[in-house]
Amino acid sequence: MKWVYYCKNEDKLKSGDNSIVELVYMRPVWIENNQEYTSGVIELRIVAVDFIETLSDKGEFSNDEIEFLKPIGEKVKEKGYYIDENPPDDDEKRHFLNKADIYVAESFNLTKLHQWMKLYLMIQGYPFSAFEATNYDKFANDVNFILRVFSIDNAKKFEPDFGPEWWKSNHQKQPDRNAIESLLKQIFQN
């Protein structure tokens, strides 16, 4: 499944700059009978912990903020990343599939950003084939939920791949642990 995404600093990252915080909106897109379909959005915020530690050392955070951020930094040091799931509120569930913050060890370029996005999709068990960048206007128009309804009839077409009533499940598919391990090795090699 292709994932169309919008990232405000895409051009900056394409030019080779690194980033410390990025907010990315992704939505799945698939073609059936020569028609393009989409569904809800995943909101990811990717944050480099080394930047947080630098600001903390400079006294930019209050003691409460430091106490909140300290365990996150420790989890990133243990595992190389930390994902903090932020389930959508009830009124957001119509528009969002998932929301999460991904804390990573250091600043990242566009390639690393894509790898972190892909890792999240893999962990959640979402199918993935490619990313396609888009601008804000196109992303927002294509996700107009009044015009594009993710109907039960469309969801039922994916039952052979994801199982009966997969759209009602919080976890559609078991993640491929080997693929995740392989992707993590790629991320940490660079």
Within 8 A by CB and 6+ apart from 125, the residues are: 171, 172, 173, 174, 175
pTM above 0.85, yes or no: no
CA atoms of 6 and 28, how far apart (whole Å): 12
Count of beta carbons in the 10 Å neighbourhood of residue 45: 15
pLDDT tens digits, 90-148: 777 777 888 999 999 999 999 999 999 999 999 998 889 999 999 887 777 665 443 34
CA atoms of 176 and 108, how far apart (whole Å): 24
**Among 114, 111, 101, CA closest to 17:** 111
Over its C-alpha atoms, the chain yields an Rg (Å, rounded) of 18
pLDDT tens digits, 144-168: 443 344 444 555 666 676 666 555 5
pLDDT of res. 120:
96
| Coil vs helix vs strand at 120 | helix
Checking if the pLDDT of 47 tops 80, the result is yes
For 183, the domain range is 2-189
Percent of the chain whose predicted confidence (pLDDT) is above 70 = 82
Alpha helices in the chain (DSSP H): 10-14, 49-57, 63-79, 110-124, 136-142, 152-156, 159-162, 177-189
CA atoms of 87 and 100, how far apart (whole Å): 8
pLDDT of res. 147:
37
**Among 124, 79, 126, CA closest to 104:** 79
Number of domains the chain is built from = 1
DSSP state of 163: -
